Amino acid sequence: MMGKRILLIVGGGIAAYKSLDLVRRLRERGFSVRVVLTEAGSQFVTPLSLASLSGQEVHQELFSLTAEARMGHIELSRDADLVVIAPATADLLAKAAHGHANDLASTLLLATDKRVLAAPSMNLRMWLHPATQRNVATLRGDGMLFVGPGDGAMACGEYGPGRMAEPLEIVAAVEAALAGDTTIPLPFAKPGPLAGLRVIVTSGPTHEPIDPVRYIANRSSGKQGHAIAQAAAAAGASVVLVSGPVTVPDPAGVNTIHVETARQMLEAVEASLPADIFIGAAAVADWRVGAALAEKLKKGASGPPTLGLVENPDILATVASHAQRPRLVVGFAAETEKVIDHAQAKLARKKCDLIVANDVSPATGVMGGDANTVHLVSKSGVETWPTLPKAEVAQRLVAQLAARMGEGGA
């Protein structure tokens, strides 16, 4: 990450004092930091303090002849590898969601060709207000990344969601975002093969709580599901990605909904219907503890506890038999033996149109890896692909689905 360039926009909120520590933490890790301070932000922190910590001039005015001569607002917006808003106030998020450009910060957000990471900070009622939630959903759909907000005590004396993430949390989110490509391509000159279609993708594992600190999960990284969502968006689809807990960044141009458990994932999927295509790439836990404990489970003289497991809802089968069933329902079969046999049985049992089967035995390195070897199993037969990067698997799969939709969704 050494040498990566961060453009930090400091909004007007009491949490702006944390941005001073954020600059310091980023510089400690070798990042170059340029700061844009909004007029409201300057009521909480000074340009001098930010300039001292960043080692660079702090930018405040959109129309500054000196700044325009050396670095215009377009160049400033393009020079960074990532744009970070901390604190991201309700006003800044609203401006970004609606494309306003009446000051330096909002103009940079509209002109940048790089991804944006926002750390929201505001009163809990402002955060929970439907207008703010609509703006956040729009921005997620446009590809903006978010870290926080968390629950906590606020300067106004209230307690709840809206507290800005801590500087080290933001640094971790910055590093995760920079692990992928942060350049935003220009909009498509012509419609893609999925233009006008709505696609729902599930990705990653689910975490089923045992107690407040333990859970049942699996080794899924979410890389394949996220790559599919990205490929579908690149093909022109309106994409909703329902993601379990993963460390990979949200795909650009995708409305990502973050969940923890299988039941939450099913709820989010059903709330996102209707759709034209459903792709169930998530590795959903088959079971959960019937009654998760409210307190941490302790060792005792009686020996290991007995966990009463109950079956989780079957998301793929539910969607395949739903009253709003998509035209194409695609499932994944992650197997360690008899891959094709199990996939064919799953195809019939779940009543879906296509199963993408793969061998996830430890020796394959598929779980958490960057490559995959898949078999497309349908009623018409089995098509086996060579080992490919997961991004290429995603692109090929999306091309196949586009062709099937063109044939009437068969």
CB atoms within 10 A of CB 120: 29
Tokens of 77: 């917006």
Residue type, 234: A
- Other Cβ atoms less than 10 A from the Cβ of 345: the count is 14
CA distance linking residue 334 with residue 267, whole number of Å: 23
Separation of alpha carbons 406 and 410, rounded Å: 9
User: The tokens of 108 are what?
Assistant: 């940079």
- Which two tokens mark 311? 């079956």
Q: Measured at the alpha carbon of residue 165, what is the angle toward residues 164 and 170, in degrees to the nearest 5?
A: 130
- DSSP state, 362? G
For the record, the structure tokens of 4 come out as 């990566």
**DSSP H helical ranges for 273-338:** 315-320
Amino acid letter, 210: I
CA distance 393 to 229: 12
Residue whose pair of structure tokens reads 């961060």 in the numeric block? 6
Q: Are 252 and 209 in contact (CB under 8 A)?
A: no
Residue 43 has what DSSP assignment?
Answer: G
CA–CA distance from 358 to each of 219, 331, 372, 386 (Å)?
A: 14, 11, 7, 11
**Whole-angstrom distance, CA of residue 281 vs CA of residue 12:** 40
**Is the backbone of residue 204 left (phi > 0), alpha (psi -120 to 50) or beta?**
left
Question: Regarding beta strands 5-10 and 82-88, do their DSSP bridges make them parallel or antiparallel, or are they unpaired?
Answer: parallel
d(CA 127, CA 163): 10
Helix axes 47-54, 16-28, angle to 10 degrees: 10
Virtual torsion, Cα 232, 218, 174, 252, nearest 10 deg: 10
Tell me whether residue 352 is one of the annotated catalytic residues: no
Structure tokens at 125: 């009622």
Q: Which of 1, 128, 156, 348 is catalytic?
A: 156
Angle at 232 between CA 230 and CA 235, to 5 degrees: 110
- Show which residues are catalytic: 156
